[in-house]
Structures are given as structure tokens and as C-alpha cells.
Structure 1
Amino acid sequence: MELNRGMDAGMLAAVSSAVFYPVIFTYLDWPGGAVRMHTAVGDISYGGNSWTGVGNLGSISLPQEIIGSMAATEATYSLVASPAMINDYLDDNIKGRAGRSDFGCLTGRPGKSTTLVGAPVTLFFGSMDTLGMNVAPDDSGGVQTQINVGLATGPAAREKAYAFHSEEAQAAEYPGDTAGRLSVNAYAKAQKQLWPES
């Protein structure tokens, strides 16, 4: 069984070419209003909304996908900003609010193009779980502050995963199909160690 994201033909052609221009969109359902950012520069219109480019000031750490695993995973979103900007958000109650990342392609180099090729696909979605701030020295002898938001998958996100399939799921989608009926105990039988008779 393969993990299928439903990528349209235009975007599939773009990512299959020798050179393409990726962009990742991040949506956070922040208490004071939705946050919509992307990894390129400038404003991009997507899904009827305007998304603000953060360029090199933002970073995303997405979990590795493991087919067949339904374990909880976490993504981390970071944004460099001034302490005054970050302090205004550190006390917001974000726990359990929605967030997601979508992958798309631009028609040209970021900064030169804000036009999407095809429709972006969702890479990760979950609920905001953690919020924190890092302070570290920068190259100029000053300090750099960064806000970090952690998103975790929960039961609702894992239930929508394409990588899980059972006999019950097959029967619900294809009534009368008995393909998995006789293989239910196959794994258990394969794990039994048989000793030769002496």
C-alpha cells in the first residue's frame, strides 16, 4: 500500500523536472487570528488567503513518515523575531489549536515569482502543543530570539492517515470483498516457531 497525497499533474511535472522551486505553507490557528506564512519571500495567494513570506527567518522540522506507523509525531515551527514581538505571544493559550503544513511549487525562483504551479498538498497537520522561546548569540555579537511552536498529531490526525488499512476498512469500502478474510491470522501463524520431531 502506498502513501498517496493526490498531487495534481501540474505539480507532479514540476517536481519531476531537473529544477523546481519548492515552497512550504504553514497555517496556525492562533488565538488572536490565523497565522499564514510560507518559506519564500513576498505575499502569495493560496486557498483564497494571502500568505506572508518569512524566507530565511523561519524554519520547519517535520517528522519522518513511517508507513504502517500510527505513533504520535511532532513538528516544530520556528521564527526569528525581536523579543518585543515574541513576548506578546508567549502567554497565548495555543494548546489543542489546529496547524498544518502544505507543500507547493512556484513557477520561478522565490523572490522573483509568487505564482503557484498546481495545487499544494498537505505534508503535516496536527494540534499546537508547545510554545517556547530561544535566545542565542548571533554573528554580530548581539542576541537572536526565536519563537518555537510544536505541533503534535493526535488520534484525529492519525485516523486520517492513508498508511493504515485493516480488514474492517476494506469491508467498509468494498462490501462483499473477502480478500483479507483468510489472512487475518497469517502473521500470528508465521511467527510460531516449529521444531522438528525427533
Structure 2
Amino acid sequence: MSTKNVTKIASDSIEEKILTIRGQRVMLDFELAQLYEVETRALKQAVKRNIDRFPEDFMLEVTKEEWKQLITNCDNFPERHKHNPVPPYAFTEYGIVMLSSVLRSTKAVEVNIQITRAFIKLRRFASLHEELAKELKDIRTAVKGNTNDIKVKDNTNGQRENMLFDKPIQGLCRTDIGKHKRF
């Protein structure tokens, strides 16, 4: 594959376009069309011609209620898509991979590789997040079980401070502080 014609898309811009609908990470049809440099109408037409390649776990048909909620929560959608009466299709990672075979262009293959890498990066991040959440939960459980120990330690530290500051230091000559001479 020639690297001269490959247009690198910033992975951050791809990750910003990945949404969660019905518990699945997806990208909307008009954003994919923009990345593939095709019209949304052409993308939808190719999908409709090959609808048997897009089972429910590859593509979701966004309901009108979900679309209204997305418009409310995501302010970065273009105006022309916000007011479209027909909700977009939402493609899962597998649906996006299938799109490259339906669109049959080198641009679609190149973009799919970058999108797949973005999904993998998000999956790794989510896995790390889950591990950290589990560790935090374990720490909280351990701390809850040991709250009495912590209170005792805090109390003894306070008693030590009181003992140090309540009584004057005996045995040191005030004129030679730092030399610790004894009389």
C-alpha cells in the first residue's frame, strides 16, 4: 500500500466522534461519511443495498427519542444534521469494518484501519479504567474495615504533639540551641 496518498486522521478527532448508544460504542453515519469522503446519502444507499451484512450488533437504527437526546447532549453536530427528521444509523466497530467492504474504496479501507485503532485504544483505556476502579474499591473496603485503627493512630499522634509542646524541653541550654550541650 502506498503511503503517499494516505491521509492521516488525528486519532483524537476520531475518538471524539465515538458515542455510546444502548451500551455500545458507535459512530454515526454522517460522521463516517465525512471521514470516508462520500455523501451520507451514498453511504446509506450502500448499506440499504447490503442490509444483510449489517445485523443488529453491527448497526443500530437510532430512534427519534435517542436522536433528540443526542442532539441535546452533543453540541458538535452540524446544524443540517441536527434538524434532519430522519435519525442516523449508528455503526458499531464491526459495522464500520463491514462498511469498507460495502463501499469498496481504498479511502474506506485506510479510514477503517484508523477507526479500528481508535476503538482499540478506547477499549484499552476502558479496561485500565475498570482495573483502577476495582483497585479503588478494594482500597475503600480495606479502609472501611480499618477505620478504628486509623482513629487510634490519629489520636496517638495528637497525644505525642501535646506532650512535646506542653512541657518545656529539659536538659538543653537555651544559649546553645543546636549544640545540645547538657549542664
Q: TM-score, normalised by structure 1?
A: 0.23
Q: Which has the higher strand share?
A: 1
Q: Which has the higher helix share?
A: 2
